[in-house]
Structure 1
Amino acid sequence: MTGRYGADELTRFILMFDCLLMVLSLLIRSNFLNSFCILLIVICYIRMFSKNHSQRYKENQIFLKYINRIYPKTDRLRYKLKQRVNYHIYKCPSCKQKIRIPRGKGKISITCPKCRNEFIKHS
């Protein structure tokens, strides 16, 4: 592999996508899908054994630019789901501000930090 480009994020993504397509092709038994899977594997090998580092690097950077737009959104969603385990999220009835309250505290009076409105909720 001396002088070859090797595996990068784009190649790994293509291989993972190819594995999913292979499982799908086993279920629906499509010759077209099987051919497409083989084509993706060939593309991965061409990328890994390529000596044109600058072109492969450029392709990988373009891929990372687009994939990094998606990851922050999934990270925020993952964070919100993790917060739901330990906290209730309520909205203030007057200003609609989201307020995070710990679970298991019983019936409590909540004061909105934005508008100072008080309301009672069960945590």
Structure 2
Amino acid sequence: MKEKLQRFMWGRYGNDRFNQFLMIVALVCLALSFFGLRIFYVLALALLVYVYYRMFSRNMSKRSAENQWYLKKEMKVRSWWQRRKKLFAGHRDYKIFQCPKCGQKLRVPRHKGKIAIHCRKCGEEFIRKT
């Protein structure tokens, strides 16, 4: 049986990260459909059909391009989230100011009173209360 499945899948695209994401979205839609929202059931079925279409497709270059598009979008979201996480982690110890001349973000320690902040990018110096 395993050999038959392997022979069937030979030359077909298979599973990738985009398919995994679509399956998770389909499961979430299916869970939402239990609350009486019929549109989510239809959406879940449509997503599952699309997932299997991609999985059994023989057009590998097109499926790979779709996956690369998804990975690019996912990386943007992940990097945005990492920046937010890093910014939030230091919000108790540091305060962020923007340089009035060039707009560069500058991180300075909190609870130091009024201090002169020197921008490394443009050399502007300004005074702010931390």
Q: TM-score, normalised by structure 1?
A: 0.67
Q: CA deviation at 1:40?
A: 1.2
What corresponds to 1:37 in structure 2?
Answer: 44
Structure 1 unpaired stretches of 5+: none
What corresponds to 1:48 in structure 2?
Answer: 55
Contact 1:97–1:112 (CA<8 Å) still a contact in 2?
Answer: no
Q: Which amino acid aligns with 2:21?
A: F
Q: Across the two proteins, how many residue pairs are aligned to each other?
A: 118
Taking the TM superposition and a 5 Å limit, the aligned residue runs for 1:1-123 are 1-2=5-6, 3=10, 4-27=12-35, 29-91=36-98, 95=101, 98-103=105-110, 105-113=111-119, 114-117=123-126, 119-122=127-130
Contact 1:89–1:100 (CA<8 Å) still a contact in 2?
Answer: yes
Q: Which amino acid aligns with 1:115?
A: E
Counterpart Cα distance in 2 of 1:62 and 1:120: 44
Counterpart Cα distance in 2 of 1:47 and 1:40: 11
**What SS class does the counterpart of residue 125 from structure 2 fall into?**
coil
Structure 2 unpaired stretches of 5+: none
Contact 2:97–2:106 (CA<8 Å) still a contact in 1?
Answer: yes
Counterpart Cα distance in 2 of 1:39 and 1:110: 59
Identity of aligned residues (%): 27
Q: RMSD value over aligned CA atoms? A: 3.0
Q: TM-score, normalised by structure 2?
A: 0.64
